[in-house]
Structures are given as structure tokens and as C-alpha cells.
Amino acid sequence: MAAQSGVERVTAMLLSFFHTAIATILMQTLVRTLLALISAVALSVVVAGLFLPVASVLQGAEFTCLSEGITECVSWIPMSAVLYGPLFAIVGAVVGTPLLLMLWAWRGW
């Protein structure tokens, strides 16, 4: 076997470094994207759960859940999450994930 020249060793070392750097950048991007997706979907389900109680309070006195007490409003949260959760989760995933990634990029995370 012929000994490697200095140029070949440097080239091999640079290729190894760039391969490692690219793999690290791709993993960071993947982790950030997954965190943004999970955060966006979780936040959208919370908003979906609060949608019916808040909407009923904003409609006025005849439709409000507060007329029967705060416990009635709290009991509407699971129903609201079940009814509106899938829709809000889809919107949160499609709109919220890129927004979170953009915000994190602006902050330098």
C-alpha cells in the first residue's frame, strides 16, 4: 500500500468533519421540528378545550354557561376538546409548527 499524501489526509479529515457537522445540523433541525409540532398540537388542544366556554360567555346572558355556575363552564371543557380538538390540532400542526419554528429562528435558538 502506498502511503497517503498530506493532501489526501487533509481531504479525508475535512470530509469526515463535514459529514459529522451536516449530521449534527440535520438532527438539531429534526428535534426542533418535532418539538414545534408537539407544542403546537398541545397548545391547539388547550385552545379547543377553552373554545366553548369562552364562546358561550361572549355570546351574552341567554347562552352563557356562567348562568349555572363556574362548574358548568368547567364541565364544558372536555366536550369542547372532543368536538373541536381534531380541527384545532390540524390547524395547529399546519399553521402553528412553522410559526413556532420561525419564532425560534428569530430568537436564535
Domain limits, the chain: 32-107
Q: What is the mean pLDDT of the chain?
A: 83
Alpha-carbon gap, residue 93 to 86, rounded angstroms: 10
pTM given for the model: 0.71
pLDDT tens by residue, 55-93: 887 877 777 777 788 888 888 888 888 999 999 999 999
Q: What is the DSSP letter of 68?
A: G
